[in-house]
Chain A
Amino acid sequence: MPAQVITITSGKGGVGKTTATANLAVALATEGSKVVCIDGDIGLRNLDVILGLENRIVYDIVDVIEGRCRLKQAMIHDKKLTNLYLIPAAQTRDKNAVSPSDMNRLVKDLRADYDFVLIDSPAGIERGFRNAIAAADRVLVVTNPEVSAVRDADRVIGILEAEDKGPGALIINRLNPILVKKNDMLSAEDVLDLLAIELIGIVPEDENVIIGSNRGAPVASDPKSKAGQAFRNIAKRLKGETVPFLDLESSDSLWERIQRLAGRK
């Protein structure tokens, strides 16, 4: 089966695109899929750090596009997972080093041999974002339960619709059920009410995410982490499985309502 090409984007910076990409890549690879992730944030690369592969970079995506190396040479093998690869961004170039058609060509060469190609988009809606969505079959929009992040997600969804990339599916990242309960944070329901797109996962706030990112060991490989569990569930949903949403705060009809909302088209 040819690869699913999935771009992870958000509009706003700092909402957890790169963390989500790394965790989904690890979760999918742990389940046995062959996964390549591509860091689309040229000039501000991070995905290599979060995956703990920084010190293995020899060639990067711009080297491939400009013909200085073969595609395979730029694909860095993960430390533990034998079926996970990273194509890192160039740190010393900028977004203009790559065009949307370059991305299409690069991804085309990967489609036949892998199950998933995950592209980590930079923040913003300019060139880098356009590059990142050019080859996508499907787009995941990451947002936080904050007004500004939701506003930017809405803008990005509008652009995706205008570009015929579909509305995308939503990941609500860093939800804090205690703050929601105290009415100090937007609930998942509030976010969905505005964005009105398919929900593919809710990731609770979890300090292990930061610890994992700093150590280069994403939480998706930590069986005890709730955020890790949420990312593993999203990975399953990407593979077409039906997985119930996590019960982040026990006993409340809110989650039933979210599930109902998530099911709506």
Chain B
Amino acid sequence: MNETNSSIQIKGLRDGLLVSLDDAPWEEQRTIFLTQVDAQPAFFKGARLALDVASQVLHVNDLVDLRDQLSERGIFLWALISESPTTEKTAQLLGLATRISKPRPEEARQTSMVGQGEDAALFLDKTLRSGTRIEFAGNVVVLGDVNPGAEIVAEGNVIIWGRLRGMVHAGAKGNQDAVICALDLSPTQLRIAEEVSAILKPHEHSRPEIARINQNGKLQAEFWSPG
């Protein structure tokens, strides 16, 4: 299916839509695009969307706004393709794919969400500050701290090489075997699959810990013992 409206191109992909914008001012492009979506809600509802933004320079807030607006309309933004390194970085920070030729999260989920080791992983080598939200359809690895007010939602495991003080949801699509580990596990809240826990005691001396769902179906953290 091909549609053209001014500078916006919409193409059908195997399992979703690819929307290509051009370099006209971002606000204008965004408005035109959303107007078009609102004109054909049935066509767009439930779509998995990849967005090509040419060389637009977009920051976290631009993308978060757009993603929220799309999500309100039942559209899932999973990839952002850009010629701008800044925009690519922003997209990665939000857990969006930046290439659509890569295995899609959908496939990764089907083949290896239960097994470990081979899953797609998002690697972030920075501290996640308050207000940052990372969503990823696989594992998430952070080399840095997760501060209070930051959130990670992953369909797989979450590994924090640093202090975890924000909110992490692992196994967000229901994987009960997902684990969360951190060098210092002092989160605001942890979730694995459907289980929620906020009763993780603060430690005087932090040691690496791993949280998982135990045999009784409760979310529990224990010290990491190698071997």
Q: A and B: real partners?
A: yes
Residues of A within 8 A of B (CB): 147, 151-152, 154-155, 157-159, 161-164, 194, 196
Q: State the 4 A-B residue pairs at the shortest beta-carbon distance, nearest first.
A: A158-B129, A155-B130, A154-B130, A155-B131
Q: State the majority secondary structure of interface residues on A.
A: helix
Q: Which residues of B contact A151 (CB under 8 A)?
A: 130, 148-149
Q: Which residues of A contact B132 (CB under 8 A)?
A: 158
In the bound complex, how far is the Cα of B90 from the Cα of A158, in angstroms? 12
Q: State the majority secondary structure of interface residues on B.
A: loop
- A159 and B61 in contact (CB under 8 A), knowing A151-B130, A152-B130? yes
CB-based contact A155/B129 at 8 Å:
yes
> What are 30 sample pairs from A and B whose C-beta atoms fall under 8 A apart?
A147-B148, A151-B148, A151-B149, A152-B130, A154-B129, A154-B130, A154-B131, A154-B147, A154-B148, A154-B149, A155-B130, A155-B131, A155-B149, A157-B129, A158-B60, A158-B128, A158-B129, A158-B130, A158-B131, A159-B61, A159-B131, A161-B129, A162-B59, A162-B60, A162-B90, A162-B93, A164-B86, A194-B148, A196-B127, A196-B145
In the bound complex, how far is the Cα of B128 from the Cα of A157, in angstroms? 10
Complex interface residues of chain B between 189 and 218 (CB less than 8 A to chain A): none
Residues of B within 8 A of A (CB): 59-61, 86, 90, 93, 127-132, 145, 147-149, 165
- A194 and B61 in contact (CB under 8 A), knowing A151-B130, A154-B130, A162-B90? no
For the A-B complex, the count of residue pairs with Cβ-Cβ distances under 8 Å equals 38
In the bound complex, how far is the Cα of B61 from the Cα of A196, in angstroms? 22
Closest residue of B by beta carbon distance from A126: B61
In the bound complex, how far is the Cα of B76 from the Cα of A194, in angstroms? 33
Q: How far is the CB of A123 from the nearest CB of chain B, in Å? A: 15
Closest residue of B by beta carbon distance from A154: B130
In the bound complex, how far is the Cα of B134 from the Cα of A158, in angstroms? 14
In the bound complex, how far is the Cα of B24 from the Cα of A97, in angstroms? 24
Select the residue from A152, A155, A158, A163 with max chain B CB neighbours within 10 A: A158
Q: Which residues of B contact A196 (CB under 8 A)?
A: 127, 145
Q: How far is the CB of B208 from the nearest CB of chain A, in Å? A: 18
Q: How far is the CB of B188 from the nearest CB of chain A, in Å? A: 10
In the bound complex, how far is the Cα of B145 from the Cα of A155, in angstroms? 14
Q: How far is the CB of A218 from the nearest CB of chain B, in Å? A: 30
Q: Which residues of B contact A164 (CB under 8 A)?
A: 86
In the bound complex, how far is the Cα of B148 from the Cα of A161, in angstroms? 17
Q: Which residues of A contact B90 (CB under 8 A)?
A: 162
Closest residue of A by beta carbon distance from B57: A164
